[in-house]
Amino acid sequence: MKKTATVAVILAVSWLALGERLTGAAVNARVERDILEQVLVKVNGEIITKTDLEQRQIGALRQRDPNFRPDNDTALQQALAEVTPQVIVDAVDELLVVQRGKELGFSMSAEQFTSILENIKKENKIETDEALQAALKQEGMSMADLRKQLERTSIVQRVQQQEVMAKLQVTEIEMRSYYDAHLDEFGTVPQVTLREITVNVPTTAQGINVATDDAARAKADEVRAKIVAGEPFPRLAAEYSDSGSKANGGLVGPLAKSDLSEDLQQAIAGLTAGGVTPVLRTTRGYQIIRIENLQDTTTKPFDDAKTEIADKLANTKRKAEFDRFLDKLRADAIIDWKNADLKKAYDLGLKTFRGTFTQ
């Protein structure tokens, strides 16, 4: 269950019109044709109602496209048909997980609920309980509805932690195998830090004046001679450079070598730290580059990468383990469908999505 779901429900006031459309005449007409009973399905004796389904459909449409505004009933029905298979699988799966959580004794205390409410108000700049209740009312929710939703989210997370995450193990052999097979993930790109002095050549509508260009080249040659003679590059940059980097002594970087132009890469090829290029012609004028630091490609040692690898492997295992956990809950459940079309949507959702509400 996405942690931001409740906040999205509270703040999505602009969707109220669509919510009214979905639960208004258009949907009512469809309900009269297709869904004849208020109770759509019973899961181990607990029900999912027409209202439950409609609320989830609205949420799914919001998430898929916040700007979705159906022009007619046909477009609305098509959109609902597209989201309903995943919506109903998620609804059943969530109910099964919550039921398992209650078997384990999980619940939400009044203190926990109050703490979460305070966080919601703070994050969304809602000053009072009355303002929160007003926002909920605009979305057709009550404080009791919010508490129920938050408690479901809390229980699902606790079940995941106890029934799935606590049972996952990542071995040293698995981490080493992943490391050896994905060394490129733990490598650093070659980087360079440099200093620059740029002497611009002024241009006019007629182009570049030869005398002006010659003067700029002579100035650049003079500056390079000073560098070779041992004068401080940062001071010379501050005094002579026309580049904005002059304020920082001409310092630029670190930069990935691949981000440099091909001409500049060729110009610094073979240079080590402290090396200075010849005067280079650029589109702006003339430039002198000094290498401050070079960092070749390095690979993070296995011991330094273990935590990152363990997290990646655990996340991969978590999904597979949770899928198995859900499969068992489904197999053990008594699911009594009251609508054949919704059962078909559920079967399609299982085949296509396998449920996504906790992923």
Residue 359: predicted pLDDT: 52
Q: What does the pLDDT average to over 53-74?
A: 87
Q: Backbone phi, then psi, for 348, in 5-degree steps? A: -65, -40
46-49 and 207-208 strand pairing: unpaired
Q: How confident is the model at residue 253 (pLDDT cuts 50, 70, 90)?
A: confident
Residue 161 has pLDDT above 70, yes or no: yes
Residue 22: predicted pLDDT: 47
Residue 286: predicted pLDDT: 93
Q: What does the pLDDT average to over 136-142?
A: 83
Question: Going by C-beta distance under 8 Å and a sequence separation of 6 or more, which residues neighbour residue 355?
Answer: 86, 89, 90, 93, 323, 326, 349
* Pair of tokens at residue 274: 């402290």
37 vs 181 pLDDT, higher one: 181
Give me the CATH code for the 5-158+328-352 domain, please: 1.10.4030.10
Give me the CATH code for the 191-295 domain, please: 3.10.50.40
Residue 296: predicted pLDDT: 78
Residue 16 has pLDDT above 50, yes or no: no
Residue 30 has pLDDT above 50, yes or no: no
Domain regions of the chain by residue span: 5-158+328-352, 191-295
Instruction: Cite the DSSP H helix spans in the chain.
Output: 5-11, 16-23, 25-34, 50-64, 73-103, 110-123, 129-138, 143-159, 172-181, 210-228, 233-240, 262-268, 302-332, 340-352
Q: What does the pLDDT average to over 21-33?
A: 44
Residue 13: predicted pLDDT: 32
* Predicted TM-score of the model (pTM): 0.58
Most confident of 28-32, 79-83, 97-101, 110-114: 97-101
Other Cβ atoms closer than 10 A to 319: 13
Residue 1 has pLDDT above 80, yes or no: no
Residue 100: predicted pLDDT: 96
Write the pLDDT tens digit of every residue in 180-195: 999 988 887 788 999 9
